[in-house]
Homo-oligomer: A and B are copies of this chain.
Amino acid sequence: MIWNEARECMSRDQMTDLQGKHLVKLVGYMYRNVGYYRKKMKKLGLEPGDIHGMEDLGKLPFTTSEDLQDTYPNGMFAVPTSKLVRYGTLDSVSGAELIVGYTQNDLNLWSECMARTFAMAGLNKNDVIQIAYEPENWAEGLGLLSGVEKLGATAIPVPADQKKDLMSSIRKFHMTGIIGTPSYLMYLARMIEKKGMSGGVLKAAVCGGAFWTDKTRKKLQDAIGIKMYDIYGMDELMGLGVAGECRCQKGMHVQEDYFIAEILDTETQTAVADGMLGEIVFTTLQKQGVPLIRFRTMNITRINHEKCECGRTSARIDRICARTEDIVYIRGNSILLYSIENALTELREIKASYIVTIKKQHGLDVVEVCIESKRLQELLQSDNGESVKHRVEAVVGKIIGMKPKVYIHEGQMTRLYNRRKVTIIDERRF
């Protein structure tokens, strides 16, 4: 079921038009109500009248976690506090405590997003859905709960650390859906395994709030016997439900009528093409309490604007795979540092450690991989070195899309503090 077909399935042109209209309003609203943001715009010589639609989005200044800290506690609030119906505290992406405030309208928007997300996971008003929230994050649980209510389903709100018998809950309540963190769902999987039973009438699990991989997902899906759907959100933006996954499980649909998503090169902050990695930057189009324009999430992902097989036209993003400090651009390609790290670590037969250096040579990016081994002589004898170099060249080359220069360290070992098996140095940044 598509919860809000009019919004989730509109053509790209219609969506861009809708977003543009809301953007123009939002910029005026922020300019009038948030002195801090008005100053930012004035500094750029920018006035609300300069923004006519989505084509002008790039002119607008970013908002960062630091901006929120600078204006703490409520300098970014766009309404008088009397209009707020709820406050929440959160640890920002940069770790500092922040305060957010919601108007009734903001909460309604949240429940709409959550209802869409549950519907994407195949849940509907006949379902009984357990909300296993983290006790230290009540605000998040409240957003999830409001979505179940909006959907017209029945909610079972329980703390995620409650050591009650989950299996018996599934039977007693005829529970059909569950939302929780990967670790809570892992607990569910263990319960099912332990009791040697199936997941009962469970239809779907929605999983978010912490990092997990496709491998974990597959393991969980196999153990529980149901599909597990990704969900994305950030407390600064709203909470979980900014994007959610449909039955096709090919990325999470962004609620684009409420949130503009841009994927930007982490170095140049200009848009990258669909399918390329970059930092996802959000503009909250219809929030009233603490709206954000071009909020730098520091989250790395890809976007895809193709129509999905499920019928939705909303853009899809991949599960967040890293943070901005974990990505480099090599000859224009975005590379996740940990993909290099993983590939080298998986060469288990080579007992070595590596220093990967990214440099500029004659204006071009080059990559050098230095293989170091305490048992260097052994390595060279057994293999004469060339084969080792070729294997390293191949795995790294595949990731960075070009041939790296690989050599074996023959002098004294390089000394690095906090040595890891793979050390990556981007000399271009120095």
Q: A156 an interface residue at 8 Å Cβ cutoff?
A: yes
Residues of chain A from 82 to 97 with CB closer than 8 A to chain B in the complex: 82, 84-89
Neighbouring B residues of A157 by C-beta, 8 Å: 86, 88, 138-139, 142
Q: How many residues of A contact B (CB 8 A)?
A: 36
Q: Are B88 and A128 in contact (CB under 8 A)?
A: no
Chain B residue, CB-CB nearest to A158? B138
A75 to chain B, nearest CB (A): 12
Chain B residue, CB-CB nearest to A89? B164
Chain B residue, CB-CB nearest to A82? B126
Complex Cα distance A277/B126, Å?
46
Complex Cα distance A139/B141, Å?
11
Q: A401 an interface residue at 8 Å Cβ cutoff?
A: no
Residues of chain A from 177 to 231 with CB closer than 8 A to chain B in the complex: none
Known: A141-B138, A142-B145. A85 touches B155 (CB 8 A): yes
Chain B residue, CB-CB nearest to A171? B73
Complex Cα distance A126/B126, Å?
38
Residues of chain A from 58 to 104 with CB closer than 8 A to chain B in the complex: 73, 81-82, 84-89, 99, 101
Neighbouring B residues of A141 by C-beta, 8 Å: 138
Complex Cα distance A253/B157, Å?
29
Neighbouring B residues of A84 by C-beta, 8 Å: 154
Q: A133 an interface residue at 8 Å Cβ cutoff?
A: yes
Chain B residue, CB-CB nearest to A72? B172
Q: A149 an interface residue at 8 Å Cβ cutoff?
A: yes
Complex Cα distance A148/B102, Å?
14
Complex Cα distance A164/B141, Å?
19
Complex Cα distance A138/B174, Å?
20
Complex Cα distance A152/B159, Å?
27
Residues of chain A from 123 to 178 with CB closer than 8 A to chain B in the complex: 125-126, 128, 133, 135-136, 138-139, 141-142, 145, 148-149, 152, 154-159, 162, 164, 172-174
Complex Cα distance A136/B138, Å?
12
Chain B residue, CB-CB nearest to A99? B172
Q: Are B174 and A81 in contact (CB under 8 A)?
A: yes
Chain B residue, CB-CB nearest to A107? B149
Candidates B85, B86, B136, B174; contact of A159 at CB < 8 Å: B136
Complex Cα distance A142/B173, Å?
20
Neighbouring B residues of A81 by C-beta, 8 Å: 128, 154, 174
Neighbouring B residues of A101 by C-beta, 8 Å: 154
Q: Are A159 and B142 in contact (CB under 8 A)?
A: no
Q: Are B86 and A172 in contact (CB under 8 A)?
A: no
Chain B residue, CB-CB nearest to A139? B157
Neighbouring B residues of A73 by C-beta, 8 Å: 172-173
Neighbouring B residues of A128 by C-beta, 8 Å: 81, 87
Neighbouring B residues of A99 by C-beta, 8 Å: 172-173
Neighbouring B residues of A156 by C-beta, 8 Å: 86-88
A167 to chain B, nearest CB (A): 14
Q: Are B154 and A87 in contact (CB under 8 A)?
A: yes
Neighbouring B residues of A125 by C-beta, 8 Å: 82
Q: Are B85 and A149 in contact (CB under 8 A)?
A: yes
Neighbouring B residues of A174 by C-beta, 8 Å: 81
The 12 listed contacts between A and B (C-beta, < 8 Å) are A82-B125, A82-B126, A84-B154, A85-B152, A85-B154, A86-B154, A87-B128, A89-B158, A138-B138, A138-B157, A138-B159, A139-B157
Further 16 A-B residue pairs, CB within 8 A, beyond A85-B148, A87-B173, A142-B157: A81-B128, A81-B174, A82-B126, A82-B154, A84-B154, A86-B155, A86-B157, A87-B128, A87-B156, A89-B158, A99-B173, A101-B154, A136-B159, A136-B162, A138-B157, A138-B158
